[in-house]
Every structure is written in C-alpha cells, then in structure tokens.
C-alpha cells in the first residue's frame, strides 16, 4: 500500500510541476524582448491575438517611386535595416504578388509600401501599383516560390542561402556590420 501512495504522490507532484511550467510559458509575453509585440498575418500558420503598435510611417523620400524598381527595393531594405533599426534585426522586402513561404520569428515590424510604376504598352503609359511587404524580425526562414529577380525581393541581416530561393535567418549580433552577398551574409566587426 505504501508504494502505491508514494507513486500517487510522485505523479501528483510531476503533474503539478508540469502545470506550473506551462502556466509560466503561457503568461510570458510573446516577443517581450523586442520593441513591439510580433504581428503575424494570413500567410503564416500561427496567429497571435494581440495587435502590435502600428509602425511609424516610412519617410516619403524612401517610398517615392522616383527610381527603377530594383533600386527602390534595395533603397527600402537599406533604409529599414541601417537607419530605422540600426542593424539589430533582419529585414526582408518582398513583392506581395509572388508566392512564398515565410516563417519569421519574433517579428518587430511588419508593414507594407507600394511602388508606382509607369510602364509603356504599345506606346501608351499605363500606371501600375505593386505592393511590397517589409518585415523586420529576429530569425526565420523563407522559400521564394516566385521570381527571384532584384525587382521582387531583397533582404539584409544574418542569413544563409542554401539555394537560390531559400534563406535561413539567425538573430543579428550587436556591433556587427552586415553586407549583403548573393549567397551568404558577410559580417565584420
């Protein structure tokens, strides 16, 4: 009888400790170590009910479509990475017309901007608006299922590129200056 009581007490203690551990995890704020709460969208499989604070609007001199599309995408990435977040987080700028799988962790900022192009068709100027997603995050992965051209996506941060359209991001290291290489992040102190 005594072993049965000991086993029951041990099982109850293990259950109590597991319940306490789970309740601590559930009460811990998601993204508590980042500037704002993370924001997830419909392209991700997990949703978080808390709404983050709206990010500050990007400056007009960055978002204006006065340059070629590839230069605009690069300018957006450089500004958000270097000026807005001072190289503390990874940045991805992605054309929303593309199909892709993106799994960011600890999102700091998730916003959109539009590029306004003026294309010539049969000698007639036709305006077109292209929506881009700008995501600032600690780590994650991306598989681009669409066109991999410079006009469609750009990124900066601490990443590996195991294939032409696959990126794996690790947290940026404070004090490290990241420069983009087509296949791997080049870091210098």
Q: How confident is the model at residue 15 (pLDDT cuts 50, 70, 90)?
A: low
> Residue 13's domain spans which residues?
1-30
9 and 97 share one domain: no
Domain membership of residue 144 (yes or no) is yes
Instruction: Give, in order, the Cα–Cα distances in Å from 59 to each of 1, 52, 132, 177.
Output: 74, 20, 15, 23
Domain membership of residue 175 (yes or no) is yes
DSSP 184: B
| C-beta separation of 105 from 73 below 8 A | no
Mean pLDDT of the 133-157 span: 91
65 and 120 share one domain: yes
| Model confidence at 51: pLDDT above 50 | no
Q: What is the mean pLDDT of the chain?
A: 76
154 and 91 share one domain: yes
20 and 64 share one domain: no
Q: How confident is the model at residue 121 (pLDDT cuts 50, 70, 90)?
A: low
69 and 139 share one domain: yes
| Model confidence at 132: pLDDT above 80 | yes
Q: How confident is the model at residue 49 (pLDDT cuts 50, 70, 90)?
A: very low
What is d(CA 104, CA 36) in angstroms, rounded to the nearest whole number? 15
| C-beta separation of 79 from 136 below 8 A | no
20 and 68 share one domain: no
21 and 66 share one domain: no
Domain membership of residue 35 (yes or no) is no
24 and 78 share one domain: no
Strand partners, 119: 126
Strand partners, 136: 91, 109
88 and 160 share one domain: yes
23 and 92 share one domain: no
What is d(CA 187, CA 189) in angstroms, rounded to the nearest whole number? 7
Q: How confident is the model at residue 65 (pLDDT cuts 50, 70, 90)?
A: confident
Q: How confident is the model at residue 45 (pLDDT cuts 50, 70, 90)?
A: very low
| C-beta separation of 106 from 38 below 8 A | yes
| Model confidence at 115: pLDDT above 80 | yes
6 and 99 share one domain: no
What is d(CA 69, CA 157) in angstroms, rounded to the nearest whole number? 21
Domain membership of residue 73 (yes or no) is yes
Domain membership of residue 42 (yes or no) is no
74 and 22 share one domain: no
| C-beta separation of 29 from 37 below 8 A | yes
Note the pLDDT of residue 76. 94
Domain membership of residue 51 (yes or no) is no
Domain membership of residue 47 (yes or no) is no
Task: Count the domains in the chain.
Answer: 2
Domain membership of residue 36 (yes or no) is no
Instruction: Give, in order, the Cα–Cα distances in Å from 3 to each of 7, 11, 33, 115, 128.
Output: 6, 12, 46, 72, 76
What is d(CA 6, CA 1) in angstroms, rounded to the nearest whole number? 9
Query: Which three-class secondary structure state does DSSP give residue 51?
Result: coil
The residues, any chain, with a CB within 8 Å of residue 155's CB and separated by 6 or more, are 77, 90, 91, 92, 93, 142, 167, 169, 180
């Amino acid at each position: 009888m005594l072993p049965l009581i000991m086993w029951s007490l041990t099982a109850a203690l293990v259950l109590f400790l597991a319940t306490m551990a789970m309740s601590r995890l559930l009460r811990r704020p998601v993204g508590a170590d980042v500037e704002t709460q993370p924001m997830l969208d419909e392209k991700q499989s997990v949703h978080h009910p808390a709404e983050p604070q709206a990010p500050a609007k990007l400056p007009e001199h960055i978002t204006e479509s006065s340059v070629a599309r590839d230069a605009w995408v690069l300018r957006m990435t450089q500004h958000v990475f270097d000026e807005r977040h001072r190289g503390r987080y990874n940045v991805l700028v992605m054309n929303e017309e593309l199909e892709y799988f993106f799994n960011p962790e600890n999102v700091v900022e998730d916003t959109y901007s539009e590029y306004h192009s003026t294309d010539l068709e049969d000698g007639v100027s036709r305006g077109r608006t292209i929506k881009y997603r700008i995501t600032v995050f600690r780590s994650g992965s991306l598989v681009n299922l669409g066109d991999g051209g410079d006009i469609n996506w750009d990124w900066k941060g601490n990443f590996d590129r195991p294939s032409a359209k696959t990126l794996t991001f690790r947290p940026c290291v404070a004090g490290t200056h990241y420069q983009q290489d087509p296949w791997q992040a080049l870091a210098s102190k």
